[in-house]
Amino acid sequence: MIVGQPDPTKPGFPPLLRGEALRPNLDPVTKAVSMAMRGIDPGLVVWSEDTISARAALILAPEEPLETAMGILFAAELGLSDSLGALAPPEVAVHFVWPDRIKVNGALCGHMYAVASTSDPKEEPDWLVLGMEVPIMPVHDAEPGDMPDQTTLAEEGCGEITAPQLIENWARHTMVWISRFIDDGIAPLHAAWRDKCDMLGEEVESPQKGIFMGLDENGGMLLKNQGGTHVFPLTTMLETKK
């Protein structure tokens, strides 16, 4: 590495963020939650040195009730979409599956996580951890066609993308969307998210079987079936990692 040049094995982070690396066998979300519970300052990105998958978690401290703060999840998803748009070949298509999945070229290729200090929608959380995981390379024992509904970046022609690159870009683009969320509310994130969702108006199986009609004002799913129209809030996806 040339002195003064960025280290390609480590992600760089934009202003207001800082990073902490973890060994590949450790989970960034679990570590970030542990640190948040101990009162660490927000703005930390905990990232894995794993090269098979890009895995990272961002610690935040929203200043609003959980039910509206969860809209920041869309900022993290849009940040990931923008990152893949910048790094992947132009023909690669990225879409969202409510509430926490990413599709690349029609197959699942990413998972978002959210953990908060509270599960009460009306309570302001002390902290909120947003995590991302994107498989870059197939696992060694996987055979082509084993899981036709799942893929990796390498299998979709994005094998040159490295985990540090994707984590760095995710952090930078996510901060842009968080700034938009703070300044303009969730409406522009809703619009951008809907444009990337290919399931609107389609029948889904989860969280119940029905037609995905759209999003409510806080990003919850509006689902219509024989029992009527139901609302599933984003808070239902909260993880319980300790």
What pLDDT, on the 0 to 100 scale, is given for residue 148?
Answer: 75
pLDDT in tens, the chain (242 residues): 444 456 778 999 999 999 999 999 999 999 999 999 999 999 999 999 999 999 999 999 999 999 999 999 999 999 999 999 999 999 999 999 999 999 999 999 999 999 999 999 999 999 999 999 999 999 766 565 566 789 999 999 998 999 999 999 999 999 999 999 999 999 999 999 999 999 999 999 999 999 999 999 999 999 999 999 999 999 999 986 54
Dist CA 172 CA 177 (whole Å): 9
CA-closest candidate to residue 68, choices 2, 132, 122, 143: 122
Q: Name the H helices within the chain.
A: 28-37, 66-69, 72-87, 163-184, 187-195
- What pLDDT does residue 241 have? 53
Torsion over CA of 30, 197, 166 and 71, rounded to 10 degrees? -50
DSSP state of 74: H
3-state secondary structure of 98: coil
State residue 2's pLDDT score: 45
Go through the domains of the chain in sequence order and give each one's CATH number.
Answer: 18-199 (3.30.930.10)
Cα dihedral 190→196→202→205 (10° resolution) = -90
Q: What is the pLDDT of residue 139?
A: 79
